[in-house]
Structure 1
């Protein structure tokens, strides 16, 4: 009797552990026969997807079957919120293929953030085709900052059939089924959706004066983007702040009015606190920003003073819009939304594209001095 009780306790503990550690249905076993796919799995592509009893270990596996032509692709995918921290991510899984030709089969791992793919691999380069029994495969990728969603999948390109089973996802070697989720910061900039589908900007007829004013606005906008502490902290969607200032700015009748609009715009974001820990740019730094336009131009003296104060108390450290590639130091542009739903053409978004690109080159391209023409 004593041993029977012990066995029952062990069995109950095992059952409880299996329930609490199986957050994600990566083995396809949670399946309702009334549905086409196992719980949580969905379809990418045009090929036929299903659940099959030809499995690697237990009852079920995911299956992809091409059409007769085999001219497209199919993918059985699963989405996991990227509420985790780490440096490396690995997907392991088992795959079986039959008569795969004119393409390949593989596991797929994709990490998305800010409406774009931050890291991706679908094993295309391994060129897995033909007929093979169950084998274990893996994908390893750096786990990117700004990750919002993780997609694990099996993919078939070309003709044939492929089965997938027993996926295991780990971050820094720890199984995601038991890995503790983190509370990621919510940036105000990401909550601003006002102009997602339309900038609402229409330009008047361009003339020399307006072009000069727009050039200045591009310089000021980019300067504030990379230096203003509150922009750097992700408090503002800086793309949309451009669209908010433009209607008034385009109506400026003269230089004095133009500069006052810029002064009022800067004041909108509050006072600049003195930065007691800010480091001076090294005297032997090879690449320095050219900010001579601030003091050498005919800007209002108060505007010059405000811009210089921001520079001397500029944000230093982790930045919402710019980072550095690990071990390399190359710039890594962050949170640059693609706005795939914007109308085309759109005057505001066209100007935004120019401003973005110009300032990326101005502040971060290291070879401007080697160009035989004025890059500007």
Structure 2
């Protein structure tokens, strides 16, 4: 009896990772952090080390937190840009026609630049398409506002990157992203079979 119970436990422990192997937390509201406090499913880039990029517990559109990108030096010529992005591997887009990303942005005293959302479709040999909301000139002081970008997709797309960026002086908060493919909301737990 004890041997059967141990075998059952081993079977369950082996099966659980297999069941969840395709589950990927997208962390679209920036609420999920790993054990050392880093964002799950987002990569941060701050090449000139001229921005503070952190989870802010004092501002959020919904939930408890948002992602804050804030300039940390006054010199615009040395500032550059900072961004955070998430990647979706998308091998099964043969019958799909479009992807839409929406997200909320709040700004404070942005000047000499802008805050925006971007979307990049990648193929086997590199970038196929890039679109963003930079032309919206999101600057100055703005309340939480929803922005969206959309792009056609085809079978050449192998992965999709989307994210946020700030240039210039000031602060920008980002929260509550949404990803839809052909109008279907993929939600927080996007799996390869969803695409």
**How high is the TM-score relative to the length of structure 2?**
0.75
Superimposed CA distance per residue, residues 313-337 of structure 1 (whole angstroms, 9 cap, x where no aligned partner): xxxxxxxxxxxxxxxxxxxxxxxxx
- Counting only pairs closer than 5 Å after superposition, residues 261-280 of structure 1 correspond to structure 2 as none
Superimposed CA distance per residue, residues 48-103 of structure 1 (whole angstroms, 9 cap, x where no aligned partner): 21111111100111111123124310111111111342101100111111111111
Structure with the higher fraction of residues in helix conformation: 1
**Secondary structure, aligned partner of 2:192:** coil
How far the C-alpha of 1:179 sits from its partner, in A, is 6.5
Superimposed CA distance per residue, residues 234-293 of structure 1 (whole angstroms, 9 cap, x where no aligned partner): xxxxxxxxxxxxxxxxxxxxxxxxxxxxxxxxxxxxxxxxxxxxxxxxxxxxxxxxxxxx
Structure with the higher fraction of residues in strand conformation: 2
Q: Which runs of 5+ in 1 are unaligned?
A: 1-19, 185-376
What residue in structure 2 maps to residue 73 of structure 1? Answer: 81
What residue in structure 2 maps to residue 34 of structure 1? Answer: 36
What residue in structure 1 maps to residue 14 of structure 2? Answer: none
What residue in structure 2 maps to residue 59 of structure 1? Answer: 64
From 169, 173, 186, the equivalent of 1:163 is 173
How far the C-alpha of 1:40 sits from its partner, in A, is 1.5
**Secondary structure, aligned partner of 1:133:** strand
Superimposed CA distance per residue, residues 105-146 of structure 1 (whole angstroms, 9 cap, x where no aligned partner): 111111111242112112122211111111111001111331
- Counting only pairs closer than 5 Å after superposition, residues 1-376 of structure 1 correspond to structure 2 as 23-32=25-34, 34-35=36-37, 37-46=38-47, 47-53=51-57, 54-68=59-73, 69-70=75-76, 71-85=79-93, 86-177=96-187, 181-182=192-193
C-alpha RMSD over aligned residues: 2.5
Q: Distance in 2 between matches of 1:163 and 1:33?
A: 23
Structure index of larger Rg: 1
Aligned length: 164
Q: Which runs of 5+ in 2 are unaligned?
A: 1-21
Higher relative contact order (CA 8 A, sep 6+): 2
Q: Distance in 2 between matches of 1:103 and 1:144?
A: 33
Superimposed CA distance per residue, residues 142-192 of structure 1 (whole angstroms, 9 cap, x where no aligned partner): 1133112211111101111111111001110111236763599xxxxxxxx
The answer to whether the 8 A contact 2:89-2:159 is kept is yes
**How high is the TM-score relative to the length of structure 1?**
0.40
